[in-house]
Structure 1
Amino acid sequence: MTMLGRVRLPTPTKDEDDELYSGYDDYHPAFNTKNINEDEYLQEALKSSYGKRTRMYTGLKTPGSAMRLGTSSGYREGAMRPVTGSMDPVSRPMTAVRGAGYTSQRNDSIITPRPSVTPIADRPEERIEDKIRRIEKSIMELVDSSCIAASNKEYSTALEKAKEASAKEKNLIRLQEQSGMGDTHNMELTSLVLFNLASQFENNEMSNEALNTYSAIIGNRMFQNSNQLKVNMGNIYARLGQIPKAIKMYRMALDQVPNTYTDYRAKIMHNIGILFIRMGQFNDACGSFEYIMQERPNFKAGLYTIVCYFAMGDKEKMKESFTKLLSIPLDIDEERYTLTDDDSGSKLVQEVIRDDKLRRLERELTSVAHNCILTAAKLIAPAIDTSFSAGYNWCMEAVRNSSNSVLAGDLEINRALMHLKQREVGPAIDILKGLQKNNEPRLATTAATNLSFIHYHKAEFDEAEKFAEAARLSDAYNAAAYVNLGNCSLAKGDAEKAKNYYLVAVDNDPSCIAALYNLGLVHKRLEQYEDALDFFLKLHAIMSSHPPVLYQLAHLHQLVGDIDQAIEWFLQLLSIVPADPSILQKLGEIYDHDNDKQQAYHYHFEAYRYLPSDLRVLDWLGAYYVTHRVPEKAIPFYEKAALMQPHESKWLLLIGSCHRRSGNYQAALNTYKTTLAKFPDNIDCLKFLVRLCSDLGLKETSEYAAELKRAEKAKEIRERISSSRSGSRRSSGRSSGGRGGFSPGNVESPIPQTAYRGSTAFPPPSSHGQQQQSQHIDVSYNDPLGPIQERPRTGMMPPRTPWGKSTEEDFADEEITQDLLPE
């Protein structure tokens, strides 16, 4: 370390005003090097490995250019000397001290001292064995995190953790090989990491990656029992629809499973049998399920065996398999749940085990067994004998002689329901009435509920109410009984009583769909739309994609005036049933009411495409084209309507008016003549013919005028006779012709309708009937298509008709504009 010495410079001349280098030898005591060996901080810093000295706090500021050992400002103890370089007329160069980190600007901030540096001892280098052990532990933590995430259905997170664990495991293998410790690698850890990675690939539906990973595990013979993973590969192939490959993998895995693992082998054989059923190879499937019934019998395998023999049509094998199914032991001790003594300790134990996890598992197993037996009986009963009644008798006899005799009553109920499916109501009622007298409450209330349902559909509401009340008395918590009571009350007109019954049903069973739906309908009938919306929204939470519920929600929003929300519900309903013409027509009606003609036309035309026979849609589409001044396009729709209602004169008159508006007067005349031939007393048709023939200059004008006068007189006489007999006016039926009292709103739809809001081009039927009641020959008429909209007049001369008349003279009593007549 270079020590600073004292430097003496020549003394300046006395003539100078100021000593330029005065104070050069004055410096701060911190720069004194006399006692450097006694400076403990410096000595400690020199001994440390970092070689830096701890900063000593002196209470003074960091030296700047004014405190440096320079000449521009100088430093004196007690005060700072003003800069003399700027006052000197002769500029001198600055000294080269800026590169050392000093500055010529003063810094008034207080410099805090640095903490003392403690010498760091040399760490001992980590051994390679400890490092490998630490990496293995981190890999296991990642695998555990991946499994926990997968159990929580967080499959993407689980896959990320599995990939990270696999990457660390590869780095660990590389480290061991570089250290010459490749023989000490933990193969179990590698197999665990790969298996977890393949499982997460499978959970994320990355089938190819999962198959490749499983193949890598199976291909390494150092992994024990890896061949059993072929079952997983078979599951993936089955999910992909590659059934032959799946069967091959299952059989390869079955060859590697020891015979002592009977449960595992039975599960693999079960999968093979299911795949054979999907391929239609029932004989091979029977072999797989028969093997299970011999080695490890269970109810599902017995049911699938019966299904295979049913598909093959083997009656004897069906009976034999059903008998084997009934002989499978359930191994559930029901007596331990029965209280045998009055000991308080025993009662407490009974209360604890009555609904524990083991008891719930036993109930689930019992339910599966009973469902398999009942399903098998319903399947084979119509096939094992000449009639399904005889087949049910054989099945019930077999069940009564087995340990599952409690299912005989359920088979009787299934037999009654089968009679109902065959439209044999009488035998079904007899069977249910016999079961109603059964001592078992469950069978009695079920039979009474079904009897109430049958009588309700036969419109025998008193009988239905009687059996529903009997079902309620047998089981006070039977929600179906309360629903039937509510239905009977609603059929009798007592909506409030029906609502109370439905509410009780919902209290007993909050998930009772029938009660919730009927409650919504009752509130809707009582015009309590908000309450109805609440019930249908609850039902929507249970059945999110049920079309009737979606329709009711849409219709209720329409009734409360929320059109936008109604449209959203209708569109959601349309996404489920896209080919429903009534929903399409409803949407078109809503858009038409909102004057969105383009959307209204789109949905009406879609409804016509799916159901061309809907008169409302045909009427609207025809009116749409007429109002848009293209009547020739409306003719096909009116022709279809005329084919559907051949005895309705309205459609023929509309066709004639469309021909006349499009300028095809000859076609219009022929149409009116055809209409008169079918309806000789139609006054509107006669008026059209009289005026059209007179304008065309035809000789039939007088003939049609006489017929018109005769028809009007006949109509007047009929009305007088009718009024004198009944004292009230009645419509004269077909003789009053015209529109025949039809309006699009009169056509009943499969779903409820609101008030018709279609085109206004068609006047209501009542106004049209009033126009036909004339007392003299009046050749003026109103067009069934309604008045034609006028457009602004141009400066051109009005065009002439083919017979020489102007358009103002032709059909002067109608509002016919010039642009609708031929040029």
Structure 2
Amino acid sequence: MNTQRKLQGVNLISGLRKGKRCGKKRESPGETARTSYNSRKYQFGFNLLRILKMNMGNIYLKQRNYSKAIKFYRMALDQVPSVNKQMRIKIMQNIGVTFIQAGQYSDAINSYEHIMSMAPNLKAGYNLTICYFAVGDREKMKKAFQKLIAVPLEIDEDKYISPSDDPHTNLVTEAIKNDHLRQMERERKAMAEKYIMTSAKLIAPVIETSFAAGYDWCVEVVKASQYVELANDLEINKAVTYLRQKDYNQAVEILKMLEKKDSRVKSAAATNLSALYYMGKDFAQASSYADIAVNSDRYNPAALTNKGNTVFANGDYEKAAEFYKEALRNDSSCTEALYNIGLTYEKLNRLDEALDCFLKLHAILRNSAEVLYQIANIYELMENPSQAIEWLMQVVSVVPTDPQVLSKLGELYDHEGDKSQAFQYYYESYRYFPCNIEVIEWLGAYYIDTQFWEKAIQYFERASLIQPTQVKWQLMVASCFRRSGNYQKALDTYKDTHRKFPENVECLRFLVRLCTDLGLKDAQEYARKLKRLEKMKEIREQRIKSGRDGSGGSRGKREGSASGDSGQNYSAGSKGERLSARLRALPGTNEPYESSSNKEIDASYVDPLGPQIERPKTAAKKRIDEDDFADEELGDDLLPE
């Protein structure tokens, strides 16, 4: 750099000296042309060197070598003459961006402050606001936002007003309404609004003691500027911020105030109010505000989607589909309407059309777990489990820790008969969410089928912790202990269950039978309790029968225990059919346990785990063969010599 300056100085001095020697002698035309050519050649080389250094700075910036990038930018800036103000501004913006990426916000602030003082522009004002936000200077944030608002747009909207008495003027106005210059002006205005809205949303929560006061300050500043129409958008953003903080009353209050504005703002406010009331299950209010939003702006796809949602909630699926279709006609990129129309077709059992909707949505949202899951669900409803499994595998690739998706995969593999794959996915689902009672049921049944009683006990104990009021889990644990040969632990578990559920008939039956088998004296005590409980149950049933006004109909469903819900059948429930036969064989509670004072107590019971598998009688078979062989008479030829 210094060498270039010295060379330039030497050339100027030599030129001055040459002029002194020449005096007033005029140059010939050839010498003048030669001097002009040399000057242009020198200027071209100078510009080429400056562009080279700027590009070197860009390369170092891409490589995140910020110190060298700043060095080359400054070298290029030194070679730009002060008259070329636009070029100097662009280089200084690059320097500011490099400082921001390097985390040197103070240096970046200096660069952008200089730019805003020389030639204010939207990008510099926006970056300056971000830098002051990064350093946490509230007052400077306000000043930077005001500078950003004050940047002139240099757009004349009056020239696009068509009505005029001169037909030639009207033709010109119509011709320039959508020309390239007008499109550039629209883009510039949209960019300015984006910068202002983003800056306001960024600084509003921090410039005052509360975010509401910060939004109010930003709204007042915007109202006093050329961007008056953005004030209503800021108010809507304020309401959305209240929603994120779960302050629904304040949000509703702000949105209701905006209902009195122009049609665009009114439609946006009514759309948000409709969504709020819909989430609050107030479908009447949601439908009312959806109607207001649609009437204010018939081409608002969000308003039409909300209206369709309210109709869908009332069960009119055909009409809901019409609103969703209209929303798609107004905006083909409205993914919410496309998703909802797929759900509507699923409700109408038009599965092929629902599948088409979700496949189109999948082409737009490639990695949406919700869309992938809906496609898998449609294939399952179409009784195509292989395709359902394939799409669910894609869901797992997007959200590998979703326990519901993993349990669904296990269920499909279980239906297909692949127990090993089903166990793998059920176990993964249990690992991520160990409180799903259906998954615990299946895993317990799996270990019972494979006769790993100790493993099954772990899952039934977990189920008893999740549902402590259900006696069936304690009975299953006790049965597993008995099957594994740990009779003492089984007896302790039955006793503990009896203390928790003293009126449970099945538990007393197990205790009577087990104590009898073990020869314990407690058998008589438990038998007396069982007899007394049966008497109480019989008296209760007679009272119920007599209270039916002499109706001779059959008895209704009887309670399996005195507590009503403590002896319910294990196989009851929508998922019970998928469990193994042993797990479904809990003590039946539909038949009352008959007993009377004149009859001996029947302490028989049905094992919750089913009948025990008989062992192969190989030893008995061998003994029979030996006996048969011993009865045969030996001939002389078989006797030893």
| Same fold per superposition (TM over 0.5) | yes
Question: Which of 763, 768, 772 does residue 584 from structure 2 map onto?
Answer: 763
Kept in 2: contact 1:722–1:729 (CA 8 A): no
**2:618 matched to which residue of 1?**
794
Cα deviation, residue 570, structure 1: 0.7
Question: Which of 303, 313, 332 does residue 491 from structure 1 map onto?
Answer: 313
Question: Which of 210, 214, 220 does residue 397 from structure 1 map onto?
Answer: 220
Cα deviation, residue 473, structure 1: 1.5
Total equivalences in the alignment = 570
Mean CA deviation greater in 619-628 or 383-392:
383-392
Question: Which of 401, 405, 421 does residue 579 from structure 1 map onto?
Answer: 401
Report the residue type matching 2:398 in the other structure: I
Question: Which of 332, 338, 343 does residue 510 from structure 1 map onto?
Answer: 332
**1:371 matched to which residue of 2?**
194
Distance in 1, matches of 2:418 and 2:449, equals 14
Structure 1 residues 679, 372: closer, same or farther in 2, change over 3 A? same
Kept in 1: contact 2:341–2:357 (CA 8 A): yes
**2:29 matched to which residue of 1?**
none
Kept in 2: contact 1:761–1:785 (CA 8 A): yes
Structure 1 residues 711, 261: closer, same or farther in 2, change over 3 A? farther
Cα deviation, residue 558, structure 1: 0.9
**2:159 matched to which residue of 1?**
336
- Per-residue CA shift, 1:685-742, capped at 9, x if unaligned? 1122111111111111111222222223333333444455578546477725666466
Structure 1 residues 721, 729: closer, same or farther in 2, change over 3 A? farther
Whether 1:290 aligns to 2:113 is: yes
**1:448 matched to which residue of 2?**
270
Cα deviation, residue 519, structure 1: 0.8
Question: Which of 304, 309, 321 does residue 144 from structure 2 map onto?
Answer: 321
Distance in 1, matches of 2:193 and 2:561, equals 64
**1:305 matched to which residue of 2?**
128
- What's the secondary structure of 2:206's corresponding residue? coil
Report the residue type matching 2:590 in the other structure: Q
Distance in 2, matches of 1:519 and 1:293, equals 51
Distance in 1, matches of 2:89 and 2:608, equals 78
Kept in 2: contact 1:339–1:350 (CA 8 A): yes
Structure 1 residues 481, 689: closer, same or farther in 2, change over 3 A? same
**2:608 matched to which residue of 1?**
784
Structure 1 residues 258, 677: closer, same or farther in 2, change over 3 A? farther
- Per-residue CA shift, 1:379-433, capped at 9, x if unaligned? 2222222222222222122111111112122122222222333333333333322
Q: Which has the larger radius of gyration?
A: 1
**1:735 matched to which residue of 2?**
563
Question: Which of 191, 200, 204 does residue 381 from structure 1 map onto?
Answer: 204
Mean CA deviation greater in 373-382 or 783-792:
783-792
**2:379 matched to which residue of 1?**
557
CA RMSD across the alignment: 3.0
Distance in 2, matches of 1:572 and 1:271, equals 43
Question: Which of 418, 421, 443 does residue 599 from structure 1 map onto?
Answer: 421
Higher relative contact order (CA 8 A, sep 6+): 2
**1:5 matched to which residue of 2?**
none
Mean CA deviation greater in 531-540 or 257-266:
257-266
Report the residue type matching 2:496 in the other structure: T
Kept in 1: contact 2:560–2:568 (CA 8 A): no
Distance in 2, matches of 1:261 and 1:424, equals 53
Query: Normalising by structure 1, what TM-score?
Result: 0.64
Kept in 1: contact 2:558–2:590 (CA 8 A): no
**1:670 matched to which residue of 2?**
492
**1:409 matched to which residue of 2?**
232
Report the residue type matching 1:649 in the other structure: V
- Per-residue CA shift, 1:130-186, capped at 9, x if unaligned? xxxxxxxxxxxxxxxxxxxxxxxxxxxxxxxxxxxxxxxxxxxxxxxxxxxxxxxxx
Distance in 2, matches of 1:501 and 1:291, equals 54
Distance in 1, matches of 2:92 and 2:544, equals 85
Report the residue type matching 1:410 in the other structure: D
Whether 1:628 aligns to 2:450 is: yes
Mean CA deviation greater in 668-677 or 285-294:
285-294
Report the residue type matching 2:192 in the other structure: A
**1:641 matched to which residue of 2?**
463
Distance in 2, matches of 1:306 and 1:624, equals 62
Report the residue type matching 2:463 in the other structure: A
Distance in 1, matches of 2:608 and 2:593, equals 16
Kept in 2: contact 1:574–1:583 (CA 8 A): yes
Report the residue type matching 1:522 in the other structure: T
Mean CA deviation greater in 224-233 or 379-388:
224-233
Whether 1:707 aligns to 2:556 is: no
Distance in 2, matches of 1:295 and 1:471, equals 46
Distance in 2, matches of 1:390 and 1:456, equals 29
Whether 1:473 aligns to 2:295 is: yes
Structure 1 residues 664, 255: closer, same or farther in 2, change over 3 A? farther
Cα deviation, residue 634, structure 1: 1.5
Distance in 1, matches of 2:370 and 2:430, equals 22
Cα deviation, residue 375, structure 1: 1.6
Kept in 1: contact 2:440–2:463 (CA 8 A): yes
Cα deviation, residue 523, structure 1: 1.3
**2:362 matched to which residue of 1?**
540
Distance in 2, matches of 1:733 and 1:489, equals 46
Question: Which of 688, 693, 699 does residue 510 from structure 2 map onto?
Answer: 688
**1:614 matched to which residue of 2?**
436
Whether 1:524 aligns to 2:346 is: yes
Kept in 2: contact 1:718–1:732 (CA 8 A): no
Kept in 1: contact 2:335–2:361 (CA 8 A): yes
Kept in 2: contact 1:734–1:740 (CA 8 A): no
Distance in 2, matches of 1:390 and 1:450, equals 22
Mean CA deviation greater in 387-396 or 402-411:
387-396
Structure 1 residues 731, 277: closer, same or farther in 2, change over 3 A? farther
* Mapping of residues 348-359 of structure 1, within 5 Å: 348-359=171-182
- Per-residue CA shift, 1:179-210, capped at 9, x if unaligned? xxxxxxxxxxxxxxxxxxxxxxxxxxxxxxxx
Distance in 1, matches of 2:86 and 2:463, equals 68
Structure 1 residues 710, 229: closer, same or farther in 2, change over 3 A? farther
**2:390 matched to which residue of 1?**
568
Structure 1 residues 401, 655: closer, same or farther in 2, change over 3 A? same
Distance in 1, matches of 2:234 and 2:376, equals 42
Q: Which runs of 5+ in 1 are unaligned?
A: 1-220, 747-753, 799-823
* Mapping of residues 94-133 of structure 1, within 5 Å: none
**1:37 matched to which residue of 2?**
none
Mean CA deviation greater in 327-336 or 570-579:
327-336
Kept in 1: contact 2:559–2:567 (CA 8 A): no
Cα deviation, residue 226, structure 1: 4.5
Kept in 2: contact 1:681–1:737 (CA 8 A): no
- What's the secondary structure of 1:297's corresponding residue? coil
Distance in 2, matches of 1:284 and 1:225, equals 28
Distance in 1, matches of 2:615 and 2:452, equals 15
Cα deviation, residue 240, structure 1: 4.6
* Mapping of residues 422-441 of structure 1, within 5 Å: 422-438=245-261, 440-441=262-263
Distance in 1, matches of 2:135 and 2:547, equals 74
Determine which structure has the larger helix proportion and give its number: 2
Cα deviation, residue 317, structure 1: 0.5
Structure 1 residues 639, 530: closer, same or farther in 2, change over 3 A? same
